[in-house]
Chains A and B, each alone.
Chain A
Amino acid sequence: MEEVIAILCAIIGLPWLIMHYVTKWKQSPKITNEDERLLDEMYNLARRLEARVETVERIVAADSPDFRSRLTSGDDYHREIGLGDARPSLEKHADYRPAGRN
């Protein structure tokens, strides 16, 4: 009796297990060559841009020492300036430009 169970396991159970994982692997999301090329380009672009932004941040921090401390407490900074959004609106600063030139 035990031999029958062992043989059944080997003949039916094992291929079943293997086929189960093969079908799962086939169904998993795949990307085409074109997608892969695009993703590679995007990823490298993101890395290059990050390096550039880090350089610019260092330059800005060297230019004005209070920039770094603000970066760490970003939320407080935006509230202090009076902007809910991180993006400064152009209209707000347009008013100050003539004053700046005088």
Chain B
Amino acid sequence: MAARTTFYVDKQNKKVSGVCAGIADYTGIDVTVVRIMMLVLAWATGGAGILAYFIAAHLAPTKPTGLYQDQADAKFWQGVRANPSRSTGEVRAKFRELDRRLADIELHYTSRNTRLADEIESLR
């Protein structure tokens, strides 16, 4: 399985080499914003930005297809790259919520049985 925490060049959504699309995929920033920022940076640094772009395109591995199952999965891993401890906290919160919901179901059934038992008791 390919790592989700490394920087990839996104060839599927590329305009030139896919570095901007890769940055957008890595950080979760909109790809158009990344491209505009890259153009501004290239203009401000006077060519150094363009050089950095092609070095990045040459060095970074290509993003494998099917890295994420769906949009929610991609968003989750963007969160992990930004702040892993917050993401693990979110997963733990999800497990706690599931525990609470299962406890509700359990309580529903157990309390219903007691009510049924009370009714049977009153009929006798």
Contact = CB atoms under 8 A, between A and B. Distances in A.
A48 to B, nearest CB: 10
A18 B110 CA distance: 62
B101 A96 contact: no
A6 to B, nearest CB: 13
B91 A64 contact: no
A-side interface size class = 35 or more
Interface in B47-81: 76, 80
Contact of A88 (B91, B101, B107, B121): B107
Nearest to A85: B103
Given A46-B91, A83-B107, A30 B84 contact: yes
A53 interface: yes
B110 A88 contact: yes
Given A31-B5, A31-B84, A100 B107 contact: no
Nearest to B116: A100
A87 B11 CA distance: 51
B107 A87 contact: yes
A26 interface: no
Contact of B107 (A29, A50, A86): A86
B85 to A, nearest CB: 6
Contact of B103 (A50, A86, A92): A86
A39 B85 CA distance: 11
A99 B114 CA distance: 9
A71 B102 CA distance: 11
Contacts of A76: none
Contact of B117 (A39, A60, A99): A99
A86 B110 CA distance: 12
Contact of A53 (B76, B101, B117): B101
5 contacts: A29-B85, A36-B5, A43-B91, A53-B102, A88-B111
